[in-house]
A and B are shown apart, each in its own frame.
Chain A
């Protein structure tokens, strides 16, 4: 479904953020992209929806080469890729509902969006998604009145209303407490399962990643140096990715013990 071929990004400063990255993500698969700060994780997912233009190589989504698209074609392709951000990146002075509906901008014309006259089907879907992430009662609140976890839920709703085939997720839990982090990760993974979405999740927290995904890709200095199941992440592999450290505690299996009560509370 998503295929990266020799994707390379060299910044103007000469820093080589990505070199010859090959990666294939089948439909419905959620992968965690791990690696130290500066390894190129953020650049990699931004090269896929071209918030950053790759220097060479190709990114192919459902047979369409995104790297060669015109401005118009790129906008159409971006509709198929929902993005979830590190610091939520909600437009703070817009309401929760406007933030969610902004996910439909690729589908509606300028004047409709300017007067906030979105099609009824979009509005219904926005309410359904807000209900699903447990924030229906917040629809008309301003985004900056929400807590971190709530904001990220709105971010998830905004990405999903695009009706994407792929989610690009950039450090979704970086500024959240441990419990909220798990809730957010669980929500993302559940949504992907429900809608058969593929997802690439950049994540710092290795143990959190292991809890939720079936596949882990390790990036170091712009190269993929690990690609496998979470169980295969041995201390040796982590040393290769991050450098020397005692990794035993990190790879201990952590039970996702609060699953049941969360499902009840989150619905």
Chain B
């Protein structure tokens, strides 16, 4: 039926058309890419004698793990952990609460253009600034301690959660939402009945995932003075108490694994 005559095609080889049709361009990109990769690896200088020395230091570090010391700094570790947990929980709750309206505004199928642009701007600011940099800024403003950590993690949560939630809202089933609108619902009712049920599993899953991230981050933020278990860890490093360091790292690993396990169970249940 089509304009291409059948006789021209029968008996001929058939191959899937190339993604880049121009053979010149295709080969240039392919060869250029390979050469760059080789050059890039070649430029990574490795100082082997230095690595040999370093291996010993690394070994001492690992040996520290073999006999972690939970006891001699027990009070510091306990306080650090409590501070980190409080920081994690509060910042996740605040971050999620702010993310929801931002996500609604950043979903192109819901929000009018000016609101969309503002919300997307908020998200890109939050995503562009690394947690460490934000934490340094907040420590400069509010001083050492968990308040700076709490603010940093809340701020970082907005960029992460609002972006992913907005994407889920954009992917929602239009007709379900349309049906709710056709009943004469108000905008808020429409969000509550037409949109929220569709994105709820994702919202819960992301919030728990973020809780997990925030806890891990809280360990790092302590290094720049933003409180939490990270501050305890930093002190232990400064004192070369690798056995205490090992104890703290083990605690962090166990907590993260536990959170991971719990979040898996919860996410499976809310599907």
Contact = CB atoms under 8 A, between A and B. Distances in A.
Interface of A: 49, 51, 75-79, 81-83, 85-87, 89-94, 98, 102-107, 110, 113-114, 155, 158, 162, 168
Given A91-B198, A158-B183, A162-B184, 12 more contacts: A78-B183, A85-B178, A91-B193, A91-B194, A94-B197, A102-B179, A102-B193, A106-B183, A106-B184, A113-B193, A114-B189, A158-B179
A181 to B, nearest CB: 19
Interface string B174-195: 0110111111111011101110
Interface string B194-207: 10011011000000
A75 B200 contact: no
Does more than half of chain B's interface fall in helix, strand or loop, or is it mixed? helix
Nearest 10 interchain pairs by C-beta: A106-B184, A105-B185, A78-B184, A89-B179, A93-B197, A79-B184, A89-B175, A83-B182, A75-B184, A105-B189
Nearest to B185: A105
Contacts of A49: 182
Interface of B: 173, 175-176, 178-186, 188-190, 192-194, 197-198, 200-201
Contacts of B193: 91, 94, 98, 102, 105, 113
Given A94-B193, A113-B189, A51 B184 contact: no
B173, B179, B185, B193, most chain A CB atoms within 10 A: B179
Contacts of A77: 184
A91 B176 contact: yes
A168 B186 CA distance: 20
A75 B190 CA distance: 12
Given A87-B175, A90-B176, A92-B176, A105 B183 contact: yes
B178, B180, B190, B194, most chain A CB atoms within 10 A: B180
Given A91-B194, A91-B198, A93-B197, A103 B183 contact: yes
Contacts of B173: 92
B113 to A, nearest CB: 14
A87 B179 CA distance: 11
A67 B83 CA distance: 59
B97 to A, nearest CB: 16
B198 A76 contact: no
B74 to A, nearest CB: 46
Contacts of B179: 83, 85, 89-91, 102, 155, 158
Contacts of B185: 75, 102, 105-106, 113
A91 B180 contact: yes
15 contacts: A76-B184, A77-B184, A81-B182, A83-B179, A87-B175, A89-B179, A91-B194, A92-B198, A93-B197, A102-B185, A102-B193, A105-B180, A114-B188, A158-B179, A168-B182
Contacts of B186: 75, 105, 110
Contacts of A85: 175, 178-179
Contacts of B176: 89-92
Contacts of A93: 197-198, 200-201
A85 B184 CA distance: 16
B169 to A, nearest CB: 14
Nearest to B181: A51
A110 B198 contact: no
Contacts of B188: 110, 114
A113 B192 contact: yes
Nearest to A79: B184
Contacts of A103: 183
Given A49-B182, A79-B183, A162-B183, A110 B197 contact: no
Nearest to A94: B197
B182 A78 contact: yes
A248 B53 CA distance: 92
A93 B180 CA distance: 13
B198 to A, nearest CB: 7
A75, A76, A86, A98, most chain B CB atoms within 10 A: A75
A158 B185 CA distance: 13
A114 B193 CA distance: 8
A98 B197 CA distance: 11
A113 B190 CA distance: 10
A49 B184 CA distance: 9
Contacts of A81: 182
Contacts of A78: 181-184
A114 B192 contact: yes
